């Protein structure tokens, strides 16, 4: 990249005729030279280069130069790497993406295209890693935002980028988090039930044969059905029992197709056998429940 930028710098100097153009190219080149100078401590070099390129970009010629915006993006990215690599809210990183985006738009000859895209992929990777480490009950909103930025970067870097496996992975983990949060307090966190349900369904739409999403969605419904019954007071009126049974039955019925799907994908997985035994039992379909009970016993014997 160093050679490429240097060649471009010289070309810019020789080919431009106007004073201002030379001045802007000169400043941009200076920023490049500073940020790549191995004799200047990295921190100092990056800070200096950032100041230089910020001034240079104000020049009207630079404003239209793909190269200037590319260098600015690069310097900002380096600043982020040097000073803010642990700052998930780094504005410098977001700015770098914006500058690379401008550079791509201005780069009619595609001269810097490949390098800009590589840089965008790198930044995308940092957003993804941040999303992965933020996916927790208290910070998942940040994870969602970072994941969105990851997608933006990757699609800028490679418009045909296949997001599907990333979507499946991220959304599965996110759905699990919503489900876990719902389970921690089913009365207070009803919204998380809805989010988990919707997100598991998104995963299943992307990947019909996703065992984890099918199983966990089935368990989300099944456990909720059991919770509805368990939350009932034994002193509840007889009318209430009818309503509670209806509510629970709705959840058990919703669980069934996903549990059956998970079973078809992993018929020897004990957890799904136990789940199906429970779901059928809860629906008072005792024969089917017993079928799965027998399968569990057989599986236990085989082990």
- Binds other proteins by CB under 8 A, chosen from 55, 101, 253, 288: 253
- Residues 213-242 interacting with other proteins (rule: CB under 8 A): 213, 215-216, 219-220, 222-223, 225-227, 229-230, 232-239, 241-242
What is the C-alpha to C-alpha distance for residues 105 and 159, in angstroms, rounded to an integer? Answer: 14
- Tokens representing 221? 């419904």
What is the C-alpha to C-alpha distance for residues 84 and 81, in angstroms, rounded to an integer? Answer: 6
SS3 at position 254: helix
| Total Cβ atoms within 10 A of residue 173 | 17
Question: How many positions of this chain bind other proteins (CB under 8 A)?
Answer: 72
What is the signed CA dihedral for 59, 62, 68, 73, rounded to 10 degrees?
60
What is the C-alpha to C-alpha distance for residues 101 and 189, in angstroms, rounded to an integer? Answer: 40
Nearest residue to 60 via CA among 92, 29, 19, 93: 19
Q: Which is nearer to other proteins, 20 or 194 (CB)?
A: 194
| Total Cβ atoms within 10 A of residue 205 | 12
- Residues 178-217 interacting with other proteins (rule: CB under 8 A): 179-180, 183, 210, 212-213, 215-216
Stretch near other proteins under the rule CB under 8 A, chosen from 56-64, 104-112, 177-185, 261-269: 177-185
Q: From the CB of 17, what's the least distance to other proteins, in Å?
A: 27
Q: Which is nearer to other proteins, 21 or 175 (CB)?
A: 175
What is the C-alpha to C-alpha distance for residues 12 and 65, in angstroms, rounded to an integer? Answer: 10
Contact flag: residue 103 with other proteins (CB under 8 A):
no
Contact flag: residue 281 with other proteins (CB under 8 A):
yes
DSSP code for 177: H
SS3 at position 210: coil
| Total Cβ atoms within 10 A of residue 233 | 8
Q: Which is nearer to other proteins, 57 or 218 (CB)?
A: 218
Q: Which is nearer to other proteins, 225 or 263 (CB)?
A: 225
- Residues 68-87 interacting with other proteins (rule: CB under 8 A): 74
Helix ranges, 57-189 (H): 60-63, 66-83, 91-106, 113-134, 140-157, 164-184
Contact flag: residue 98 with other proteins (CB under 8 A):
no
Contact flag: residue 285 with other proteins (CB under 8 A):
yes
- Binds other proteins by CB under 8 A, chosen from 16, 48, 98, 169: 169
- Residues 9-48 interacting with other proteins (rule: CB under 8 A): 32, 35-36
- Residues 137-156 interacting with other proteins (rule: CB under 8 A): none
Q: Which is nearer to other proteins, 1 or 11 (CB)?
A: 1
Stretch near other proteins under the rule CB under 8 A, chosen from 16-24, 59-67, 84-92, 284-292: 284-292
- Residues 119-138 interacting with other proteins (rule: CB under 8 A): 119, 121-122, 124-126, 128-129, 132, 135
């Amino acid at each position: 990249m160093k050679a490429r930028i240097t060649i471009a710098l010289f070309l810019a100097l020789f080919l431009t005729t106007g004073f201002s153009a030379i001045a802007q190219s000169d400043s941009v080149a200076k920023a490049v030279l500073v940020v790549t100078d191995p004799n200047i401590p990295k921190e100092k070099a990056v800070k200096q280069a950032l100041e230089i390129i910020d001034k240079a970009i104000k020049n009207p010629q630079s404003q239209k130069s793909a190269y200037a915006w590319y260098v600015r993006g690069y310097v900002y990215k380096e600043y982020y790497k040097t000073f803010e690599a642990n700052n998930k809210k780094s504005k410098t990183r977001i700015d770098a993406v914006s500058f690379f985006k401008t550079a791509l738009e201005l780069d009619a000859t595609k001269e810097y295209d490949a390098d800009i895209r590589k840089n965008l992929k790198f930044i995308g990777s940092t957003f993804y890693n941040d999303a992965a480490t933020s996916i927790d009950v208290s910070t998942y909103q940040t994870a969602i935002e970072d994941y969105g930025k990851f997608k933006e970067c990757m699609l800028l870097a490679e418009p045909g980028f296949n997001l599907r496996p990333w979507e499946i992975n991220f959304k599965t983990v996110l759905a699990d988090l919503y489900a876990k949060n719902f389970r921690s307090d089913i009365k207070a966190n009803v919204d998380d039930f809805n989010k988990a349900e919707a997100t598991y369904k998104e995963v299943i739409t992307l990947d019909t044969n996703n065992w984890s999403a099918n199983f966990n969605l089935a368990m989300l419904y099944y456990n909720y059905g059991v919770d509805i019954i368990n939350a009932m007071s034994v002193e509840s009126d007889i009318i209430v029992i009818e309503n509670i049974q209806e509510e629970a039955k709705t959840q058990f019925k919703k669980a069934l197709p996903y549990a059956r799907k998970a079973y078809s994908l992993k018929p020897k997985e004990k957890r799904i056998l136990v789940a199906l035994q429970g779901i059928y039992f809860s629906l008072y379909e005792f024969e089917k429940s017993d079928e799965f009970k027998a399968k569990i016993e057989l599986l236990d014997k085989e082990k």
